[in-house]
Structure 1
């Protein structure tokens, strides 16, 4: 396997999240990520409100959020070859520009609902290619060691934080401007991200050779996926990243009915939806700051094996306070990803890194969408507390079995 050495400024920096900002290129990547994320979250809220105002349909309004998950399958499989076949900076900038154009379409006066939903699908299909390419590029910018793990962790933390802040900002913004005007924030975010990445990162050659012909690209994507899944170690680590989120979304997706049953109303719903990202941010920050690389790797499997256990407390029909604590503690368990990331980057050959990262990102989003849908379906036939507790039990058994497979794949 080809490894990438950290840049000189990264080697000289002290370990920790702050050391990431000693690397000039990472500063550009981080700022671009923050700007585009805030635009995306605000745009999602505005688009949902706009669709509801145009149609009066709660289903179509909710569909605007669902369409942010479903096209990930397409982008993460059929388009994954782009991440390795073209220079990374070009891929990132073009993805941002395409998403900006798509978002601008949403903001056009008189754009029909079908055009709004189609544009949402386009952005969602491009997203895994962008995020996978960026994740692979972090290895070039930060090296394959601990800085890479911390860089990935910090981007996840920012994503969780942007979700919390963006919903608040979006809600306030919509009290002052129309939804279409608010959607322009998404366009501006993508354009600013493209500019930062173009000017703030170096041009690097593509990881794998090949022509730009569409059939060759499709063949490259599918061949890469076959090769990735043929490696027992990589396959096990992919599943280790995908399986816990499939179960972790259960209380979040059922927050509204559970809060309603407690008489907590919309305030309780909002708090329950915030508990998971707050716990995840806290867990990642503590693991990144207090623990060294080897310790994070040693605790990864024990931690992921107990991450879903707090959901079992739902069997006791906990009050809002106790349910918030249970969800937040489960969210903190996602800090296992810091150790899993290091294993994954070490297991994937350099020439497959872009496709592997694209698949990894797409899988996380897809399983969350599936988990939400299945949790909702289960709650049609069983009480919410039983569904959440059941997901904790089944998820814990499944994850522990998978952890044993990860050990055997070494």
Structure 2
């Protein structure tokens, strides 16, 4: 339980029975934990989070530089979009098979110490790839190997980092901090691809890898400088058998956790394969270079940053926002796949980034706020395993479709899957929440809306959805 400077208002262990769940979910327009309105940047008033955010913006910039350089290096070495997909798959493959165990580790050990170790290891992988590239000895299997090593570290780093946010800011500022984390990441995404494009063109990919490796000094320093007495501490879970199954059972009994995780699973597996699609569009459709690829990533990042800042201003999460954003995300991908010119395609990337970010922030904060603190590492590891771990399954398939049928067909297929998933999950949530579709064609009335069935059920997801 939380023993720091603020009480965690998530449900206590074993308290997620029907009555508690119904009461929590029927607070209009809110998640299961209260939020307070303190402005878009309220979490930055907390010293520990400010140190964390400063370190992350530096390392995130380096990460985006490496991501662009890595994709372009693989494409240069192989000439294959499928090879880019394999690299992406190898980076996320460990999350697919070991992600839940990473959550168990995150629940058992102090998260700050875990993050110092994982962030250091990530820096080492960047430096290793830099040495290979700058020495002129790099081969595609080297890139595959370092991507896989980075994936192994991410298994522990992701759930620990996600769950550590609430220990820095407390439950009242959690949603704001999650949104600012995304804004932080997307701000770096604005700078990283542009710098990477210049570096690749001027001096080669190796320097981007080197700067990424060195960038991890910043988050490690921030973690070391934190005041541990100011953390909202969560007691580590004791060792015991069946903790993995316990986490799965916990999620299985919570439809407010299951359906957001299902939706982000489909979208993460099939709708977020932008390294494959953008490299293919630049190379095969628009016949551009690394600078064009960096520009497209920057435009998408700009939209994502706007989405993150808008999310930081919201005081609550609704599952209907999650479903609506996912539906628009899929439809925009389909539209971009059919774009007749480069500038129409480029312009559509900004709203795609905005709605993609809205999906991520809304699902992440909703799941965290609805989860018992003692289970948060395991639940978030499942969330990240589904969201990121599905990529090894989707990326090679999407890469093959893109190679075989062209960039437009590949992008369109991903958007179609996202659209169908959003529609299916929306209908499932409506059914669980006792809602029905109402079509009203009168002037001044909503034309299409979900309304409670009659008689209204005693419990469900009506207000949360």
2:162 maps to 1:139: no
Displacement over 6 Å in runs of 4+ = 1-5, 48-53, 109-112, 175-178
Residue 209 of structure 1 aligns with which residue? Answer: 238
CA contact (8 A) 1:13 1:22 kept: no
Structure 1 range deviating more: 108-117 or 325-334? 108-117
Aligned residue number for residue 378 of structure 1 = 401
Deviation at 1:297, TM superposition (A): 5.8
- Separation in 2 of the partners of 1:225 and 1:12? 27
- Tell me, yes or no, if the aligned pair for 1:236 and 1:402 is still in contact at 8 Å: yes
Conserved 8 A contact 2:41-2:176: no
| 1:11-410 map, 5 Å | 15-44=38-67, 56-58=77-79, 62=84, 64-108=87-131, 117-145=144-172, 147-173=173-199, 182-202=208-228, 204=233, 206-210=235-239, 220-221=243-244, 223-225=246-248, 227-229=250-252, 231-249=254-272, 253-259=276-282, 262-263=285-286, 265-266=288-289, 269-289=293-313, 291-293=314-316, 299-314=321-336, 317-334=339-356, 335-407=358-430, 408=432, 410=461
1:280 touches 1:331 (CA, 8 Å); kept in 2? yes
Cα distance change, pair 242–16 in 1 and its aligned pair in 2 (3 A): farther
Alignment RMSD, CA only? Answer: 3.8
Q: CA deviation at 1:4?
A: 8.2
**Contact 1:248/1:308 (8 A) holds in 2:** yes
What do the CA deviations read for 1:150-187 (whole angstroms, capped 9, x no partner)? 21122122223323421222344456767556534333
Q: 1:3 to 1:328 in 2, by over 3 A?
A: farther
Secondary structure in structure 2 of the residue aligned to 1:16: coil
Contact 1:44 1:65 in 2 (8 A): no
- The Cα of 1:17 is off from its aligned counterpart by 2.7
Secondary structure at 2:92 match in 1: coil
Contact 1:297 1:338 (C-alpha < 8 Å) held by counterparts:
no
The answer to whether the 8 Å contact 1:39/1:187 transfers is: yes
1:281 Cα offset (Å): 1.9
Q: How far did residue 309 of structure 1 move?
A: 1.5
**Structure with the higher helix share, 1 or 2:** 1
Helix, strand or coil for the counterpart of 2:171? coil
Change beyond 3 A, Cα 1:275–1:44: closer
Retained in 2: the 8 A contact 1:74–1:125?
A: no
Residue 150 of structure 1 contacts residue 288 of structure 1 at CA under 8 Å; is this kept in 2? yes
Equivalent-residue separation in structure 1 for 2:286 and 2:72 (angstroms)? 25
| Shift of residue 21, structure 1, vs aligned partner | 1.0
| Separation (CA, whole Å) in 2 of partners of 1:198 and 1:284 | 27
Larger deviation: 373-382 or 56-65? 56-65
1:205–1:398 Cα change, 3 Å? closer
C-alpha distance 341-263 of structure 1, shift in aligned 2 (>3 A):
closer
Other structure's SS at 1:210 match: coil
Say if 1:36 and 1:192, in contact at 8 Å, map to a contact too: yes
TM-score (norm 1): 0.80
Residue pair 1:99, 1:126 contacting (<8 A) in 2 also: yes
Contact 2:91 2:147 in 1 (8 A): yes
TM-aligned CA deviation for residue 388 of structure 1: 3.1
CA 259–172 in structure 1, closer or farther in 2 if over 3 Å, else same? closer
Larger radius of gyration: 2
Query: Structure 1's 119 and 265: CA in aligned 2 closer, same or farther, altered over 3 A?
Result: closer
The 1:125/1:35 distance shift into structure 2, 3 A limit, reads same
Closer, same or farther: CA 115–329 of 1 in aligned 2, 3 Å = closer
Query: Could you tell me the TM-score, scaled by structure 2's length?
Result: 0.72
Q: For residues 253-293 of structure 1, what are the alpha-carbon distances to aligned partners after superposition, in whole Å with 9 as ceiling and x for unaligned?
A: 3234445665453365544444433322222323433x442
Q: What is the number of residues matched between the two proteins?
A: 397
Structure 2 alignment gaps of length 5 or more: 8-33, 433-459
The offset of 1:84, in angstroms, is: 0.2
Gaps of 5+ in 1: none
